[in-house]
Amino acid sequence: MSEQEQIEQAIASITIGSGVNAPLAEEVEPVPFDEEWDDLPFGFARVYYGGDDREIKRPVIISDGFELKATDLDKLYRGLNEPVPFLTRLRERGNTVILLGYRNRTASLFDNAQAAEEAIRRTHAATGGAEPLTVGGFSMGGLITRYALTKLDHQDEPHNTKVYFSYDTPHRGGVVPVALQAFAHFLGVPLLNPLLQMIDSPAAKQMLWRYYDLATGESATAHPDRDAFLASLEGLGGWPRTPELRVGVANGAADGTGAAAEPGDLALRFTGPTFPNTSFYNQAQGQDVVAELHRAWPFTSDKIIITEGFPEVDGAPGGTLSTYQIVANALGSTEGVQLKVPDVCFVPTVSAVALRDLDDQDELYAPVDPEDPDSELDEYLCSSTTTPHTAVTEELVDWLLARIT
């Protein structure tokens, strides 16, 4: 294999999805299930009865989040149950677990919310309306189920959901470094570029706090698709009104500390022949150079990426993704690499607990008080330390289990 073929193969391996199954091996043992709903619009679900029950009792619907391709429900189950046995604990106490997946996890939230709506309807019908539901999701899955429940309430459809929960969900937006968004577009060739497929997807445009398109040459702003999603959600009521309790957990800390990403410092640099001295820098305030992109093959190209008016989002308190580590691993064998900052913030704490927007530096970094009445959630818990996005920890699971119906 030539060096260029190695580089193209490496580029084709870059993804930055936030699914809870990401750390697992490619193949996992199948998990036995009791029912399968494979005909939901845009999605499918599996039902796992609780305790000794042979029917749906005290159901908990859990939605998958953002990643490439379709949900692998076996991986999702393992990811939610290892090393902390979240699903086992639910089932042992008599809760039916219903895992909700999607045929395309980067599709529009409007589309995938239809799968959530139908899963909720089917669960409600299967219990004759007699069993209280808990409905929520991890990462973007919390947004999908929030929209679905809000829409059902707006239509006055009965569903008997008593608890809505979200797990490190980007209620006020998620963050992918503008430097990396620009690099995805800089690489081009969407069919060979899963990074661009993710960044340029309908779900990413709706979910990300700021979106950057290299072709426009403009500063990163909220994508029009995000504005449309938020307007639609607000037009339906913003939040579901039926649940008696809306709760959420954040993988980020509450004390204002975040990822080790000093503003303006080098995060990652390539030193090889294809992307010579291509460099990514941690986001700083004001007018800031966040990337220097250089390409020598198949044609020479250079681009300096500048942001203006951003807070220091890369090091903000919040659940982290190993964003630059993933890119470094993919290209390091062929390009040479200087990796300084492997992890950056993906879902700021204030976003996960629906408390504050991300535009203001002081509000982004201010400590979070669980008694703050400004949160749109009734109750929430932040991790005692900064943890990876959607990491299933004893601390967060114990708190969540105490509030699930």
Show which of 299, 323, 346 is a domain's final residue. 346
- Domain match, 300 and 216 both: yes
Residue 185 and residue 330 share a domain? yes
Q: How far apart are CA 402 and CA 405, in angstroms?
A: 8
Q: Is residue 268 part of a domain?
A: yes
> Is position 320 within any domain?
yes
Closest listed residue to residue 151, CA positions, set 226, 240, 90, 225: 240
Alpha carbons 260 and 292: distance in angstroms, whole number: 21
382's enclosing H/E stretch is strand 379-383
Last residue of a domain, one of 329, 346, 363: 346
Q: Dihedrals φ, ψ of 181, to 5°?
A: -60, -45
Is residue 363 a contact partner of residue 356, using CB atoms and an 8 Å limit? yes
Q: Residue 206 has what pLDDT?
A: 98
Which of 189, 192, 224 has its CA nearest to residue 208?
224
Whole-number pLDDT of residue 331: 84
pLDDT of residue 371: 84
pLDDT of residue 18: 60
- The residue-averaged pLDDT of 211-222 equals 80
Residue at which a domain ends, from 313, 329, 346: 346
Q: Does residue 27 lie within any of the structural domains? A: no
Tally of domains within the chain: 2
CB 6, CB 333: distance < 8 Å = yes
Mean pLDDT across 47-60: 95
Q: Is residue 25 part of a domain?
A: no
Average pLDDT score over residue span 323-345: 90
Does residue 358 share a domain with residue 309? no
If you average pLDDT over every residue of the chain, what do you get?
92
- Domain of 204? 3-16+173-223+259-346
Please compute the mean of the pLDDT values over residues 347-359 and round it to a whole number: 97
Together in a domain, 164 and 290: no
Other CB atoms within a 10 A radius of the CB of residue 151 amount to 20
Give residue-wise pLDDT tens across range 67-99. 989 999 999 999 999 999 999 999 999 999 999
159 with 272, same domain: the answer is no
Residue 360 located in a structural domain: yes
Please give the Cα distance from 202 to 263 (Å, whole number): 30
CA distances from 200 to 125, 209, 345 (A): 37, 14, 20
Residues 98 and 151 grouped into a single domain: yes
Any idea what the CATH number is for the domain that residue 397 is in?
3.40.50.1820
For 16-39, the pLDDT digits (tens) are: 766 564 454 556 789 999 999 999
| Residue of 49, 11, 335, 350 lying closest to 195 (CA atoms) | 11
- The pLDDT assigned to 22 comes to 47
pTM, rounded to two decimals: 0.94
Q: 359 and 241: one domain?
A: yes
The three-state secondary structure class of 147 is helix
Whether residues 49 and 86 share a domain: the answer is yes
Residue 301 half-sphere exposure, CB side, CA atoms within 13 Å?
13
Q: What is the reported pLDDT for 12?
A: 58
* Same-domain check for residues 209 and 75: no
Q: Which helix (H) or strand (E) holds 292?
A: strand 286-295
